[in-house]
Amino acid sequence: MRKSYGTTLAVEHIDLDIAKGEFVSLLGPSGCGKSTTLMMVAGFEVPTAGEIHIRDRRVDALPPEKRRIGMMFQSYALFPHMNVTANVEYGLRMRGVPKAERGPRVQRALDLVHMQGFADRAPRQLSGGQQQRVALARALVTEPDILLLDEPFSALDRKLREELQREVRDLQRKLGITTIFVTHDQEEALLMSDRVAVMNEGRVEQCTRPQNLYGAPATSFVAKFIGRGSFVDGTVRERSATQSLIDTAIGQATITRPQEAAPGAQVRIFFRPEHARLVESTAAAEPGLSFPATLRSLYFQGATTMAEMKVEVSEEPIVVDLSERSQLHTPAEGDRFTIHVPATRIHVFPAMGE
Amino acid sequence: MSESSGKSRWGERVLNGYVFLMTLVLAFPLLVVGLISFDTAEYINFPPSGFSLKWYRSVVENPTFMLSLGNSLIVALASTACALLIGVPASLVIARGRFPGRDLLYALCLSSLTVPWIVYGVSLLFLWAVLGFNLSIMTLIFGHTVIGTPYVLRTSVAVLADMPPVYEHAARSLGASPLRAFWTVTLPLMAVGIRAGAAFAFIVSIVNIPISLFVTTAENITMPVAVFNYMQYNFDPSVAAFSIIQMIIIAFFIVFAVRAARSGGVS
Amino acid sequence: MNTMLAAPITTLMVIGYVLPSLLMLSISLGGAIGSWPFAATLSFGKYIEVFSSSYTWRVLVFTLIVSVAVAVVNALLAYPMALYLARSRSKWTGTVFLIAFTPLAVGMNMMTMGWLIMLGKNGVINYALQALSLTSGPVPLVYGLIAVVIGLAHISFTFMLLPIESVLRSIDPAIERASRSLGAPPWRTFLTITLPLSFEGVAAGMLIVFMQSCGAFVIPLLLGGSSTVMLPVAIWEQMTVANDRAAGAALATVLAVIALFILAIQLRYFNPRRSTQ
């Protein structure tokens, strides 16, 4: 399957191939164009230019009802004037499936989502989670070529959301149905997807496996959007095949990750909180970046403890993960430390990117 | 604490008493009409001097009244049907569509609700005179459609404005064509608004005097105009009897409209 | 969405509303019936003629004063009932609503009839007064100002009740609780918080009731007399009794202008979606 769009206001350029049976998330802040993209795949928005193919069938000129899609919505969108059975049966009725065949198929779809006991209920008699299960059954019963999920879990409370995320994921694997999932919740996207496409201002910044997205962000936007971390401005001093040296206001950084900026270029370096270590002395033997900082505030978050560190030359705090620092004395606000980031853990992005 | 709640309980009692009294005042003029319609006296007099159905008989035997009853039903049903056929589709494009002049059109329709009926009566009379049309039951139906349609439009648009387009999207994603999505999802969900609009359109037609007065002829006279004409020169309990008959017809229609919409699946 | 769906309503409103209004204006300005609008030489002659008559002025001023009075009376009468309907959890609220709605559904003949029976010489109130020996003979109540104001107040009562009720219902109860928590007793909370917040509904209701009264025809004609002629009655007299269509058109245009003026105020100051007609 392949789709690409030309220039619209909402979506500038998207070129995405999704393999059969793959679960791909479109992740981004509101207004990034992810919903518009989904609406174009569904057929409710018309792309200004470009093509959309589903299973080698070009669909961009087809109305939504001819695209063989299944869709779940944030507000569930169960038809309030039909009971659960009628809702699930609706798609079969519209596609002209004979009556005798419909009953068993509805039954099987409700079994899949564990809602077999609720066939005669009206949507308003169901909880949010139950409604979304019925909506899933309704989307799957027609055996669509592709399943489109438009933030289907964001209206649910945390526990229920996690439960349904797991169920939808398991069911998607079991049925092998190609799925596009739109969300602004990064945790949800990382948890569920085979691949995540991070979108910003109508473009895909990066589309890759969740682990890569976190470990090897392609742009500073992705680095900032996924997880946490700190940016420091700098200038490239030297670059060789194996390492680069970058001058920053807090010291010189040695970087062993491959990077493309030539000497003299303005860049931003980036590292994750868990890769910044507190060391007692400034004598750092390992290559990387070392700089003194003062602990400004501590944030205990259960499994982790984050510290905001103040460096002298900048107002921007550096975030450090203190979770594994129990061997040290318990740090207090106002303590001075040296922070060290290993050379393999520093990412470099062009300064223009932000 | 106890003092303040005691005071507020007193305030509540005074309010309840007032509402009870006011409800009586609002209901009483209608109740006495019912009472007087069964009177035996030849003129209106309180308290009634006896019980009889003679005024109902006189209504049934009055050819003008019976003619007007039939006319009113035809005009009210026809103009309500026209108002629904014109107003409901228009509500879809006004609530969901994007076209130049949409807001202007909607404002024009709603503004017509403020204009007094007598102004319509006068201006529609001029319209038919200028166009050279004879007054007939058609001009009557047209006039009532003009005032009834904005009610249907307003109630339908109000329902659509509260109804997210996601239901229609869901129907389309499940394979329904635009027409079938409208028929199976949008229309049933609009039933509340359509029902209210139909009731309004029916009522403004069947009670209308100022418009009907101007665009009607003797053979197309409507029920309220017949009663109105009669009341200008006569004052006896037959008017009361006829008013009660009219009220029953209106109540019947409204209950019927509610039932029909309920059986359509929307409560 | 097919824009053609708006074509029928556009046609209807143009032929049934815009065009007749223009014709009415044209005829009031001296256009001949049977000609297209504004074909004849236009003149304000009819307006000058109509407004030179002290009768017209009397009718106009009387219409405006009575309509204001009805709006004020209704605001005072409807407010407590709206408060009850917005706050009470009683099972009787449905019945109260139904009875408040009846004037809209039963038609003017029945309303007229009801108040004739209530206020007439041999009517309910005179019967009660005499039975209680408060008066020796019947008191003249009908065919005058009192009957017209009562009748108009009744037919427009719902239009006052609904806007006030909806505004009162929309007031967040936490605001009143906040006032109580700051030490205000219930009556002060009502006077300083609830009442000012609900003025929008009262004003919206008063505008609608005012317009309903200005445009009322049957009530002033049948419950009133020659001393209580209101604008719609005067229009009807010009059209039928005097058979002066141009004068009727001029007066109807004046009434339409009043209506559009009220509409402009509504649109300017109130959420048009909330106004209930």
Return the number of CB contacts < 8 Å for B and C.
262
Task: Count Cβ atoms below 10 Å from residue A181 Cβ, excluding itself.
Answer: 28
Cβ within 8 Å of B, A 225-254: none
Q: Which residues of A touch B167 (CB under 8 A)?
A: 77, 79
Q: Which of B170, B176, B185 sits opposite A73 (nearest CB)?
A: B170
DSSP line for B175-203: T--HHHHIIIIIHHHHHHHHHHHHHHHHH
Cβ within 8 Å of C, B 26-85: 26-30, 32-33, 36, 43-47, 85
Q: What is the pLDDT of residues B136-183, one digit of tens each?
A: 999 999 999 999 999 999 999 999 998 888 999 999 999 999 899 999
Cβ within 8 Å of C, B 136-155: 142-143, 145-146, 149, 153
CB contact under 8 A, B97 and C255: no
Question: Which chain B residue lies closest to C114 (C-alpha atoms)?
Answer: B29
pLDDT band at residue B19 using 50, 70 and 90 as cut-offs = very high
DSSP run (H or E) holding C217: none
Q: What is the pLDDT of residues C260-270, one digit of tens each?
A: 999 999 888 87
Please state the rounded mean pLDDT for residues C227-246: 92
Which of C28, C106, C214 is the best residue to mutate to test the B interface, defined by the most B CB atoms within 10 Å of its own CB?
A: C106
Burial class (CB in 10 A: 0-12, 13-18, 19+), A262: exposed
Local structure of B93: helix, strand or coil: helix
Note whether C222 contacts B: Cβ–Cβ < 8 A. Answer: yes
Question: Which chain B residue lies closest to A74 (C-alpha atoms)?
Answer: B166
SS3 content of chain B, % helix, strand, coil (to 5): 80, 0, 20
Question: Which chain A residue lies closest to B183 (C-alpha atoms)?
Answer: A94
Note whether A105 contacts B: Cβ–Cβ < 8 A. Answer: no
Q: Which residues of C touch B139 (CB under 8 A)?
A: none
The phi and psi torsions of A295 (rounded to 5 degrees) equal -75, 120
Which chains contact B through at least 3 pairs of Cβ atoms less than 8 Å apart?
A, C
User: How far is Cα B250 from Cα B253, in angstroms, rounded to an integer?
Assistant: 5
pLDDT at residue B232 in the model: 85
CB contact under 8 A, C222 and B231: yes
Note whether B120 contacts C: Cβ–Cβ < 8 A. Answer: yes
Which chains contact A through at least 3 pairs of Cβ atoms less than 8 Å apart?
B
ipTM of the complex: 0.89
Q: Which residues of C touch B94 (CB under 8 A)?
A: 6
For chains A and C, having 3+ Cβ pairs within 8 Å is answered no
Contacts of C221 (CB under 8 A, 6+ apart): C233, C236
User: How far is Cα A332 from Cα A210, in angstroms, rounded to an integer?
Assistant: 35
Question: Which chain B residue lies closest to A140 (C-alpha atoms)?
Answer: B174
CB contact under 8 A, B175 and A142: yes
Note whether B246 contacts C: Cβ–Cβ < 8 A. Answer: yes
Give the number of residues written for chain A: 354
CB contact under 8 A, C110 and B19: no
Which chains contact C through at least 3 pairs of Cβ atoms less than 8 Å apart?
B
Q: Which residues of C touch B124 (CB under 8 A)?
A: 16, 20
Q: Which of A44, A90, A139 sits opposite B169 (nearest CB)?
A: A44
**In this model, does residue C274 exceed pLDDT 50?**
no
Give the bridge partners for A196, in sequence order: A25, A208
CB contact under 8 A, A81 and B188: yes
User: How far is Cα A341 from Cα A321, in angstroms, rounded to an integer?
Assistant: 12
| A330-334, C156-160, C257-261, C271-275: range with lowest mean pLDDT | C271-275
Note whether A77 contacts B: Cβ–Cβ < 8 A. Answer: yes
- The type of residue at B101 is G
The CA distances from residue A162 to A110, A158, B50, in Å, are 20, 6, 76
CB A131 within 8 A of CB A76: yes
CB contact under 8 A, B97 and C1: yes
For chains C and B, having 3+ Cβ pairs within 8 Å is answered yes
Provide the shortest C-alpha distance from residue B126 to chain C (in Å). 7
CB A278 within 8 A of CB A322: yes
Note whether A73 contacts B: Cβ–Cβ < 8 A. Answer: yes
CB contact under 8 A, B166 and A138: no
pLDDT at residue A78 in the model: 93
User: How far is Cα B16 from Cα B67, in angstroms, rounded to an integer?
Assistant: 45
Provide the shortest C-alpha distance from residue B251 to chain A (in Å). 26
Q: What is the pLDDT of residues B89-136, one digit of tens each?
A: 999 999 988 888 899 999 999 999 999 999 999 999 999 988 888 889
DSSP run (H or E) holding A196: strand A195-200
Reference A239, options A221, A263, A216, A274; nearest CA is A263
Note whether C138 contacts B: Cβ–Cβ < 8 A. Answer: no
CB contact under 8 A, B206 and C218: no
Cβ within 8 Å of C, B 159-218: 203, 206-207, 209-210, 213-214
Note whether B97 contacts C: Cβ–Cβ < 8 A. Answer: yes
The token pair that represents A14 in the structure block:
């998207």
Reference B153, options B211, B198, B97, B96; nearest CA is B198
DSSP assignment, residue C220? H
Q: Which of B164, B173, B184 sits opposite A64 (nearest CB)?
A: B173
Q: What is the pLDDT of residues B178-200, one digit of tens each?
A: 899 999 999 999 988 998 899 99
CB contact under 8 A, B117 and C217: yes
pLDDT band at residue B3 using 50, 70 and 90 as cut-offs = very low
Q: Which of A77, A94, A139 sits opposite B166 (nearest CB)?
A: A77
Q: Which residues of B touch C217 (CB under 8 A)?
A: 116-118, 209-210
CB contact under 8 A, B26 and C108: no
Please state the rounded mean pLDDT for residues C251-276: 80
Return the number of CB contacts < 8 Å for A and B.
68
Please state the rounded mean pLDDT for residues C151-159: 95
Contacts of C120 (CB under 8 A, 6+ apart): B44, B46, C126, C141, C142
Q: Which of B166, B181, B265 sits opposite A73 (nearest CB)?
A: B166
Question: Which chain A residue lies closest to B164 (C-alpha atoms)?
Answer: A77
What tens-digit pLDDT sequence spans chain A (354 residues)? Answer: 566 665 455 677 788 888 899 999 999 998 888 988 999 999 888 888 888 888 888 888 889 999 999 999 988 899 999 999 999 999 999 999 999 999 999 999 999 999 989 999 999 999 999 999 999 999 999 999 999 999 999 888 889 999 999 999 999 999 999 999 999 999 999 999 999 999 998 889 999 999 999 989 999 999 989 988 899 988 999 888 888 889 888 888 888 888 888 888 889 999 998 888 877 665 556 788 888 888 888 888 777 888 888 888 777 888 888 876 654 567 778 888 888 888 888 999 988 644
CB contact under 8 A, B44 and C117: yes
CB contact under 8 A, B11 and C186: yes
Q: Which residues of B touch C236 (CB under 8 A)?
A: 118, 210, 213
Q: Which of B4, B235, B246 sits opposite C186 (nearest CB)?
A: B4
How far from chain centre, in Å, is Cα C181?
Answer: 41
User: How far is Cα C71 from Cα A43, in angstroms, rounded to an integer?
Assistant: 53
Q: What value does the mean pLDDT of chain B take?
A: 88
pLDDT band at residue C259 using 50, 70 and 90 as cut-offs = very high
